[in-house]
Structure 1
Amino acid sequence: MALAYLWASVCLLTLLGILSVHIMGFLEQRNKFQVEGRTVLLTGGSQGMGREVAKLLARRGANVIIVARDLKKLQAALEYVKAAAKDLSTQRFHVISADVTSESENARVISEATTWNNGRVPEIVWANAGAAKPGLFVETSVETMRKQMDINYWAAVYLAHQILKAWLYPSTPYPAASPNSKGRIKSEPPRHFIMTSSSAAFAGVAGYSPYSPAKTALRGLADALRNEILLYNGARRSPNTTKQSPTPFDIHIQTIYPGTIQSPGLEIENSSKHPVTHILESSDPVQTELEAATAAIQGLENGNYMTPTNWLGGLMRFGALGGSPKDNIIKDMLGQWLSSIVWLFVSPDLEAKVWGWGKKEGMPELKAEAK
Structure 2
Amino acid sequence: MAIGLFWATTCLCVLLFVLALDIMGVFSRKNHFEVDGRTVVITGGSQGMGRGLAKLLAQKGASIVIVARNKQKLEDALKYISSAAKNPQTQRFHSISADVTKPEESERIITEVTAWNNGNPPDIVWANAGSAHPTLFLDTPPETLRSQMDINYFAAAYLAQAALKTWIKPSPSAANANPKLAKPRHFIMTSSVVSFVGVAGYGPYAGPKSAMRSLADTLHSEVNLYNGARRKDHINGPPADIKIHCVMPGTITSPGYEEEEKLKHPVTKILEKDDPSQTEDEVAKAAVNGLEKGGFIITTQLLGHAMRASALGGSQRNNWFVDTVFSWVVAVAWLFIGPDLDGKVFAYGKNHGLAASK
What does residue range 184-195 of structure 1 map to in structure 2 within 5 Å?
Answer: 185-195=179-189
Name structure 2 gaps, 5 residues minimum.
Answer: 1-13
Q: Could you report, residue by residue, the CA deviation over 1:183-232 in whole angstroms, capped at 9, with x for unpaired residues?
A: xx443100000000000110110000010010000000000000111111
- Counterpart amino acid of 1:348? P
- 2: distance between equivalents of 1:111 and 1:37? 20
What does residue range 293-312 of structure 1 map to in structure 2 within 5 Å?
Answer: 293-312=284-303
1:125 correspondence with 2:125: yes
- 1: distance between equivalents of 2:305 and 2:273? 18
Task: Give the equivalent residue in structure 2 for 1:73.
Answer: 73
What does residue range 245-264 of structure 1 map to in structure 2 within 5 Å?
Answer: 245-264=236-255
Task: Give the equivalent residue in structure 1 for 2:8.
Answer: none
> 3-state SS of the aligned residue for 2:61?
coil
Task: Give the equivalent residue in structure 2 for 1:88.
Answer: 88
* Contact 1:174-1:246 at 8 Å conserved across structures: no
Q: Could you report, residue by residue, the CA deviation over 1:253-282 in whole angstroms, capped at 9, with x for unpaired residues?
A: 011101001110101111111100000000
Task: Give the equivalent residue in structure 2 for 1:176.
Answer: 175
2:202 to 196, 203, 208: 208
1:267 correspondence with 2:275: no
What does residue range 308-319 of structure 1 map to in structure 2 within 5 Å?
Answer: 308-319=299-310
Decide whether aligned partners of structure 1 residues 366 and 342 sit closer, same or farther in structure 2, where only a CA change above 3 A counts: closer
Shift of 1:365: 6.4
> What is the aligned residue count?
342
- 2: distance between equivalents of 1:208 and 1:364? 19
Task: Give the equivalent residue in structure 1 for 2:108.
Answer: 108
- 2: distance between equivalents of 1:91 and 1:248? 23
Task: Give the equivalent residue in structure 2 for 1:9.
Answer: none
Higher helix share: 2
Decide whether aligned partners of structure 1 residues 178 and 82 sit closer, same or farther in structure 2, where only a CA change above 3 A counts: closer
How much identity, in percent, do the aligned residues show? 53
> 3-state SS of the aligned residue for 1:131?
coil
What does residue range 1-371 of structure 1 map to in structure 2 within 5 Å?
Answer: 24=22, 25-169=25-169, 175-176=174-175, 185-238=179-232, 245-364=236-355
* Contact 1:48-1:265 at 8 Å conserved across structures: yes
Shift of 1:173: 5.5
- 1: distance between equivalents of 2:316 and 2:254? 31
Structure whose CA Rg is larger: 1
Shift of 1:157: 0.2
- 1: distance between equivalents of 2:248 and 2:204? 18
- 2: distance between equivalents of 1:21 and 1:266? 29
Name the Cα RMSD after superposition: 2.0
- 2: distance between equivalents of 1:134 and 1:82? 33
Of 26-35 and 75-84, deviating more is: 26-35
Decide whether aligned partners of structure 1 residues 283 and 22 sit closer, same or farther in structure 2, where only a CA change above 3 A counts: closer
- 2: distance between equivalents of 1:206 and 1:366? 11
- 2: distance between equivalents of 1:81 and 1:22? 31
- Counterpart amino acid of 1:50? G
Task: Give the equivalent residue in structure 2 for 1:6.
Answer: none
* Contact 1:173-1:245 at 8 Å conserved across structures: no
* Contact 2:168-2:237 at 8 Å conserved across structures: yes
> 3-state SS of the aligned residue for 1:338?
helix
Q: Could you report, residue by residue, the CA deviation over 1:44-84 in whole angstroms, capped at 9, with x for unpaired residues?
A: 00000110100000000000000000000000000000110
- 2: distance between equivalents of 1:340 and 1:365? 32
Of 25-34 and 211-220, deviating more is: 25-34
TM-score w.r.t. length of structure 2: 0.91
- 1: distance between equivalents of 2:33 and 2:268? 36
- 2: distance between equivalents of 1:229 and 1:80? 35
- 2: distance between equivalents of 1:20 and 1:55? 31
- Counterpart amino acid of 1:139? D
> 3-state SS of the aligned residue for 2:181?
coil
